[in-house]
Structure 1
Amino acid sequence: MRICVPSMGTAGLDEYISQHFGRSPTFTIVDTETGAIEIIGNNSTHMGGNGLPVDALHGKGVQVVIAGGLGPKAISAFQQLGIRVFVGAAGTVKDAIDDWMNGLLTEASMDNACREHRH
């Protein structure tokens, strides 16, 4: 399974989670079957580039996104692509994945979307 966590840099599993999904400097993608780690920069329109993070992550085969939180537009876009999103993550990428594997995170919905992004 390919899991993505919005991250602050390039330290892999030891990197801290970015609490603002769309403005995350990087996305750390972890393949739970092979242990491979891929880090991609956020070059989306939200960061002044082209495209959307949702499209980039879908293109990388991501099946699950783990985040602190994200807005309703991102949640809806991921749902349309069949990518599951879980919120409530904190700490490092490793912490987030461990919490998800232990059932400690909540599946994202319109009810728990970030309030700042309701536009």
Structure 2
Amino acid sequence: MKVCVPSANNGGLDDIVGQHFGMVPTYTVMDIENNSVEIVENTSEHKGGVGLPPELLSKAGVNIMLCGGLGQSAVNMFCEYGIDVFVGAQGTVETAINDWKEGNLVSPTSENVCQGHGHDEDDHQH
């Protein structure tokens, strides 16, 4: 199973979780069966390329997407590709993956999806 986290910089477990998942430069993908890590460059149309991140990450074999937050249309798109989404990820990529493993991240609901680009960090329960 492959878990993906949007990365703010060059990717990897020590990178910081990117808060605007479509605009990040890279996605860090971890295969939790063998703990291998792959860095996927964001070549989507958000970064001047083609396609959208859910399509790109589906081709990379991603099963789970962990992010700080994202809009309902993005959640729907990930669902179309069979990718489960969890929100509330913060800190490093490794922290986000560990939080997910411990059950501390939640599925998106109408209450916690982002409305536009204003992220209110106080809304996420820790």
TM-score bracket, normalised by the shorter chain, equals over 0.9
When structure 1 is superposed on structure 2, of 35-44 and 103-112 the one drifting more is 103-112
The corresponding residue for 1:85 is: 85
Give, as a single letter, the amino acid of the residue that structure 2 aligns with 1:112: N
User: In 2, Cα distance between the equivalents of 1:87 and 1:54?
Assistant: 15
Aligned-residue Cα RMSD (Å) equals 1.2
Which stretches of structure 1, 4 residues or longer, exceed 4 Å deviation after superposition?
Answer: none
Q: Is the 8 A contact 2:21 2:67 kept in 1?
A: yes
The corresponding residue for 1:47 is: 47
Structure 2: any 5+ residue segments left out of the alignment?
Answer: 118-126
Give, as a single letter, the amino acid of the residue that structure 2 aligns with 1:5: V
CA apart distance, 1:81: 1.8
Instruction: Spell out, residue by residue over 1:60-102, the C-alpha distance to the aligned partner (whole angstroms, 9 max, x if none).
Output: 1100000001111110011122210000010000000000011
Aligned length: 117
* Identity score, percent: 47
CA apart distance, 1:25: 1.1
CA apart distance, 1:10: 2.4
Structure 1: any 5+ residue segments left out of the alignment?
Answer: none
User: In 2, Cα distance between the equivalents of 1:46 and 1:81?
Assistant: 18
The corresponding residue for 2:7 is: 7
The corresponding residue for 2:34 is: 34
Q: Is the 8 A contact 2:55 2:81 kept in 1?
A: no
Q: Is the 8 A contact 2:10 2:25 kept in 1?
A: no
The corresponding residue for 1:70 is: 70
The corresponding residue for 2:120 is: none
Q: Is the 8 A contact 1:44 1:50 kept in 2?
A: yes
Q: Any idea what SS the aligned residue of 1:14 has?
A: coil
Higher helix share: 1
CA apart distance, 1:11: 4.6
Q: Is the 8 A contact 1:75 1:110 kept in 2?
A: no
User: In 2, Cα distance between the equivalents of 1:103 and 1:5?
Assistant: 16
